[in-house]
Chain A
Amino acid sequence: MAQPGFEPPGSGDFIFTPIFGNSILATKPVLLLFFSVILISVFFIASSRKAAVVPSKLQFAGESIYSFVRDGIGKDVIGHEFQRFVPFLFTIFTFILTNNLFGIIPFMQFPTMSHIGFPVSITIFVYLVYHYVAIKKHGLGKYLKDMCFMPGIPKPMYVLLAPLEFLTYFAIRPLTLAMRLFGNMFAGHLLLMLFTLGGEYLLGSAWVIKIFSAISFSLAIGLSFFEMGIQCLQAYIFTLLAALYIAGALADEH
Chain B
Amino acid sequence: MSKLLLIRASAEAAPSPVIPNVAEIIVGLIAFSILFILLRTKAVPKFEKAYSDRTDAIQGGLERAEVAQREAEIALKKYNEQLSDARGEAAKIREDARAQGAAIIEELRTKAQEESARITAAAVAAIEAERQQALNSLRNEVGTLATDLASKIVGEALDDQVRQSRIVDRFLSDMEKSK
Contact = CB atoms under 8 A, between A and B. Distances in A.
Interface residues of A, number: 57
A12 B2 CA distance: 13
A33 B18 contact: no
Interface stretch (A46-54, A140-148, A238-246): A46-54
Nearest to A115: B24
Interface string A1-20: 00000001111101100000
Q: Is the interface of A mostly helix, strand, loop or mixed?
A: helix
A164 B17 CA distance: 28
Given A24-B21, A116-B20, A118-B24, A33 B31 contact: yes
A117 B27 contact: yes
Interface string B6-23: 101110101111111111
Contacts of A94: 35, 39
Given A29-B24, A45-B43, A11 B32 contact: no
B12 to A, nearest CB: 6
A14 B32 contact: no
A116 B19 CA distance: 7
B46 A51 contact: yes
Contacts of A119: 28
Interface string A203-228: 00000000000000000000000000
Contact of B38 (A25, A41, A55, A59): A41
A161 interface: no
Nearest to B58: A53
Contacts of A66: 43-44, 47
Given A34-B31, A41-B43, A117 B24 contact: yes
Interface of B: 2, 5-6, 8-10, 12, 14-29, 31-32, 34-36, 38-40, 42-44, 46-47, 49-50, 53-54, 57
7 tightest A-B CB contacts, nearest first: A10-B9, A117-B24, A121-B28, A48-B46, A12-B14, A87-B40, A44-B43
